[in-house]
Amino acid sequence: MAQELVYTTTLRLHGPWLLETKQLLALDEIMGQIRSGEPAADGYAPANKKSLTIFLSKERELESSSFKEAMTHIASQNEVAKGFEYFAQVGITSALVRLIPPKKNKKSDGEEEPFFEIKVRPPSRSTSYEIFGELKSWADSVEAPLWRQWMLLELRPLFRVAFAFPVMILLLTFLNTSPGPTEYKEALKQQARTLLHDGINQQNQTKALELVLALESDYIPPGTKPQQARKPIAGYLIAVYVLGFLSFTPTHCMAIWAGKSRLRWWNWWLNFNTVTIPTLLLARYFVPQLFSILEASLRH
């Protein structure tokens, strides 16, 4: 029996998947050029088969032959593509590229990311290796950088858990109605002004003495909100912003139909935050005066 070394022609990759129009058309070109290079067993040219299924909202699907053809579909111009399954076959050689949205990808481990796969069959043919190599090169060109995969998908559950803590602290800070030291002293001064306006007599002498002693000794009663508890509010706001951005970024978006404008917005948002977030973190420690100004504005 002849021995043969067989390489895998199946590939699974992590997102997020933000696919531009030119990238979808490049996949069209690759799938359209698939040829077996061999005639069928009966001497006739092998039959070609190519189909594209685009997943839409509300469990609907659009059947087409290519992304280029699907882009001209009048009834879908307001749709947002959720994923796709692209299949091409010539003779016994077949290629499948699919991006399955999370709801269709119901895994036992509860993953939320879309499922992306390339599969070429049969794996033992040289033609399959060539096709797989072209599709792998295409996937490498559209795959998200490794840091983005970890930051926006792998660590997302941790970010969402951590997101709850600064949110709760901010809510408690803003909803806490107990007076702080400044408010408490101002209230004492106002009471003293009222006593002076009305006049001191035997009935309010004790109250006047209490006010004088409290103001002179800087007495703060138990339960008064401490002043230092209000200082890191800007830090908590930054934590909410950073963790919120990392917890709710897109897992996939395709620049077809209404997805074009959505993808432009997401790209702008991602690029904006990759600059803004590091800048805020650096400023927090190297330009603390900015945060002092922010905290002062939030208190008034």
The backbone region for 88, taken as left when phi is positive above 0, alpha when psi lies in -120 to 50, beta otherwise, is: beta
Domain ranges of the chain: 10-144, 178-224
% of the chain exceeding 70 in pLDDT: 78
C-alpha of 129 from chain center: 35
* Each residue's pLDDT tens digit, 86-132: 999 988 899 999 999 887 555 444 556 788 999 999 988 888 999 99
Among all chains, which residue has been given the structure tokens 């399959």? 128
pLDDT band at 229 (very low <50, low <70, confident <90, very high): very low
Summarised one tens digit per residue, pLDDT across range 73-88 is 999 999 999 999 999 9
Give me the percent of the chain exceeding a pLDDT of 90: 40
Mean pLDDT, the chain, integer: 82
Residue ranges of E strands in the chain: 10-13, 17-19, 48-55, 61-64, 83-90, 93-100, 115-121, 252-254
- Judge contact between 61 and 97, C-beta under 8 A: no
pLDDT band at 212 (very low <50, low <70, confident <90, very high): confident
Residue 298 has pLDDT above 80, yes or no: no
With a cut of 60, say whether residue 230 has pLDDT above it.
Answer: no
Helices 288-299 and 233-247 cross at an angle (nearest 10°) of 100
Q: What is the mean pLDDT of residues 52-56?
A: 97
Given a cut of 70, whether residue 32 has pLDDT beyond it is yes
* Cβ atoms of residues 119 and 95 within 8 Å: yes
Q: Give the tens place of pLDDT for each residue, 175-195.
A: 765 656 666 677 778 888 888
